[in-house]
Structure 1
Amino acid sequence: MSTNTATSPTTALPDSTGAVSFRARRRRPGMAALGAALIAAGGLGGFLAWQETGERTEVLAVAREVPVGEVVDDADLTVAVVSLDPSLSVLKAADRSEVVGQRAAVALLPGTLLSGGQLTDRPLVKPEEQLVGVGLKPAQLPATRLAAGDVVLVVFTAPEGAPDAERGGEPGPGTAAQQPETVKARVVRVGERQQASGDVVVDVAVPVADGPRLAAQAATGRVALVVDARKGGA
């Protein structure tokens, strides 16, 4: 007796590893070249725009230090090429001939751009004035920053051990109080404060009649500075 065995269709099983195969994408050289060209064009456009706005403004800069009140020489100036912000008020290189011969209204420091507010065509010390340097310790002037043009009183202080009446304190019985001597002055320049001591030298313009007297008193160190007002001149 013979037995017929039926064959069943076989079903393909997935790979037991679960791996999935991908077909590699074909590279399109034309698109890659186009992308590179666009990037290059964008960079070139940015560079040209920077050149247009950042390299064509010639302005005046300070080449060497000019103290307050000194006349500006041609050698004190140099030309800088900068990307100019419209909000900045700086002098153009074409203004060089007009700048030479003016005076520094503030200290001009090398490497800084020059603006019109830093210059003046008026001498900071008038013909009827004298310039006196007054050396001051921190306790002899206000903590408020002084500026050129400030009107001040230079007060003559009494020496140590002087009677109270001379020092401005309460007078003794039967002694009249004495007001300290003062000289009205205008600040011309404030020097750099010494790091160790905090001392500073203030240049002041005073009437010719007061110059020698103030200089003699300042040499003793017995002075103090009082801000009288903030004005452009005395």
Structure 2
Amino acid sequence: MSMTDMRAPNTSSAQTNSAPQSVRRESPRVPRRGRTWLLVSAVVLVCAAVAGNAWLFTAAHADEPMLRLARDVGWGQRIGPSDVTTVDLPASAREFAIPESARATVYGQVAARPLQAGALLGDADVSAQTVPGPGEQVVGIRLEPGRIPARGLHPNDLVAVVPVTEQSSVDTGGAVSGGGEFRARVVQSSPPDADGAVTVDVLIESSVQTKASAAAAGGALVIVLGPQQ
């Protein structure tokens, strides 16, 4: 054996010993008790969500008694116990109908417009303001045949009342006077009498009382006006 062979280092063994050893790492494991707790919590949350949704659905669709008109109520008339009844509707009907639990608050109020039997009673249908209100008066005017529209007059109609003087009626066969016209709102009207005339109660402002008195004393004709802009 030569000296060269004896001095040659064992490089393969050194390289093998100096090479870094791979370390095997394992992900941390969740204890079984912790995993069970998470599973139970998830199940409880799901059950609670389902129960909550079911309750909301039932509450929204459960029937509740709502107020309905038992008979016709004219505009400005007070509402009493005999005027309303109830009908079972989903609770969502509260958006447009008064619930039976608020019945007592309706009694004593007046109809804000003509109300028909069978219709639901809503908040917009009633008012605490009586007719006539402050600064208003109700005047009855007798109208001869031909001085009202063929359609008749209905409560809450906005009308123009044109007085007819006795002189103009004689000279022109019922021509109207040149002035004294005023606006009013129909409260109610009577059936035609033996002569075919109709008496109409109209709501006026106190400022036109003189004109209204002249129309009531001497007669008038009535023109139904359209919606105001």
TM-score w.r.t. the length of structure 1 is 0.52
Residue 105 of structure 1, CA deviation? 1.7
RMSD (CA atoms): 4.4
| Superimposed CA distance per residue, residues 78-121 of structure 1 (whole angstroms, 9 cap, x where no aligned partner) | 323368996x9332213323323321123445554323332223
In 1, the alpha carbon distance for the partners of 2:96 and 2:82 equals: 22
**Max Rg structure:** 2
Indicate the residue corresponding to 2:221 in structure 1. Answer: 224
Equivalent residues in 2 for 1:156-175, closer than 5 Å: 156-159=163-166, 162-164=170-172, 167=175
Within the candidate set 199, 204, 207, 1:206 is matched to 204
Structure number with the higher helix fraction is 2
Indicate the residue corresponding to 2:105 in structure 1. Answer: 98
In 2, the alpha carbon distance for the partners of 1:54 and 1:145 equals: 43
Residue 63 of structure 1, CA deviation? 4.0
Q: How many equivalent residue pairs?
A: 170
Inter-CA distance 192–113: structure 2 relative to 1 (3 Å threshold): farther
C-alpha contact (below 8 Å) 1:149/1:186 kept by paired residues: no
Indicate the residue corresponding to 2:132 in structure 1. Answer: 125
User: Unaligned regions of 5+ residues in structure 2, if any?
Assistant: 1-59
TM-score w.r.t. the length of structure 2 is 0.53
Answering whether residue 159 of structure 2 is matched by residue 152 of structure 1, we say yes
SS in 1 for 2:216: helix
Answering whether residue 54 of structure 2 is matched by residue 56 of structure 1, we say no
Answering whether residue 120 of structure 2 is matched by residue 113 of structure 1, we say yes
SS in 2 for 1:98: helix
C-alpha contact (below 8 Å) 1:185/1:204 kept by paired residues: no
C-alpha contact (below 8 Å) 1:151/1:184 kept by paired residues: no
Residue 155 of structure 1, CA deviation? 1.0
Answering whether residue 84 of structure 2 is matched by residue 77 of structure 1, we say yes
User: Unaligned regions of 5+ residues in structure 1, if any?
Assistant: 1-52, 169-178
Residue 207 of structure 1, CA deviation? 2.9
SS in 1 for 2:204: strand
AA matched with 1:123: T
SS in 2 for 1:140: coil
In 2, the alpha carbon distance for the partners of 1:57 and 1:194 equals: 44
AA matched with 1:131: V
Residue 193 of structure 1, CA deviation? 5.3
